[in-house]
């Protein structure tokens, strides 16, 4: 006798579609009565204020992190891809179409860029001597004098404490807005003032590290990864550096 296929009810089809959506990582809900916090670190069950406190604590105690994305600072939009730890950082920054490398070891800050970057920085001065200087700086690490305005401007991008202190606080009334995924990791999402005060995805696996931040006021989106993963950090060799003098060209 031939078996008659079981007909799927509209309700079953709807539940199946919702679970399929959850599997893509858009929003995770309890499919089939499953607890979305089962097997997690438990922070998803906490009030949003405690979630924010836990993720700040985890971030503050981490020895290293990789930060990537876009931020708006001082009226400019910067694209960052930085690896950071307590004694310095290294990575790339793009601003107004120009990309340069930053490296900080302790108090020593180095900037490396192509000749076009330095030529643009010296546009207000003009003259063939500036073009020649830009050629000498091309692809070399230039040590940034601590009294130069560029030191304060760029060293913040290499300072793990400064960046995290300025980024990881949501503003306004906090709410929890569901379970999600970030790069395959289950997260709990919290927002400030329905998103206008920022949105933060916090890991539900292992330590409750922040994994994705949408800043308030459209001031950029950042992802965080490689929490606690150490990386080598050393000053460049002498043949890789150029001493520009007491002050860099103004950008």
For residue range 127-163, what is the model confidence (pLDDT) as tens digits?
A: 334 666 667 788 899 999 988 888 988 999 999 998 8
N-term to C-term CA, the chain: 82
SS3 135: helix
Cβ atoms 110, 142 nearer than 8 A: yes
> Which residues of the chain carry a pLDDT beneath 50?
1-28, 122-129, 251
φ, ψ for residue 222, nearest 5 deg: -130, 145
SS3 192: strand
Instruction: Determine the pLDDT at residue 124.
Output: 39
Alpha-carbon distance of 19 to 30, in angstroms, equals 8
Q: Rounded to two decimals, what is the model's pTM?
A: 0.79
Residues linked to residue 222 through DSSP beta bridges, in sequence order: 69, 213
Instruction: Determine the pLDDT at residue 244.
Output: 65
Cβ atoms 214, 198 nearer than 8 A: yes
Instruction: Determine the pLDDT at residue 32.
Output: 54
Place of tokens 């107004």: 96
Overall size of the chain counted in residues: 251
Q: Using one digit for the tens of pLDDT, what is the confidence trace for 185-214?
A: 999 999 999 999 999 999 999 999 999 999
């Amino acid at each position: 006798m031939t078996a008659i296929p079981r007909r799927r009810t509209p309700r079953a089809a709807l539940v199946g579609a919702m679970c399929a959506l959850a599997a893509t990582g858009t929003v995770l809900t309890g499919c089939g009565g499953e607890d979305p916090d089962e097997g997690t670190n438990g922070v998803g069950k906490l009030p949003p204020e405690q979630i924010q406190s836990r993720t700040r604590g985890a971030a503050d105690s981490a020895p290293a992190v990789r930060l990537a994305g876009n931020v708006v600072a001082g009226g400019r939009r910067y694209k960052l891809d930085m690896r950071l730890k307590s004694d310095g950082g290294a990575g790339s920054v793009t601003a107004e179409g120009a990309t340069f490398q930053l490296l900080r070891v302790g108090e020593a800050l180095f900037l490396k860029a192509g000749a076009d970057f330095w030529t643009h920085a010296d546009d207000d001065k003009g003259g063939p001597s500036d073009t020649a200087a830009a050629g000498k700086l091309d692809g070399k690490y230039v040590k940034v004098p601590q009294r130069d305005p560029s030191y304060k401007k760029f060293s913040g991008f290499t300072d793990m404490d400064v960046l995290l202190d300025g980024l990881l606080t949501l503003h306004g009334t906090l709410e929890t807005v569901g379970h999600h995924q970030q790069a395959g990791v289950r997260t709990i999402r919290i927002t400030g003032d329905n998103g206008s005060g920022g949105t933060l995805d916090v890991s539900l696996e292992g330590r409750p590290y922040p994994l994705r931040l949408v800043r308030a006021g459209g001031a950029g989106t950042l992802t965080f990864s490689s929490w606690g993963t150490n990386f080598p950090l050393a000053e460049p060799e002498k043949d890789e550096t150029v001493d520009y003098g007491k002050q860099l060209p103004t950008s």
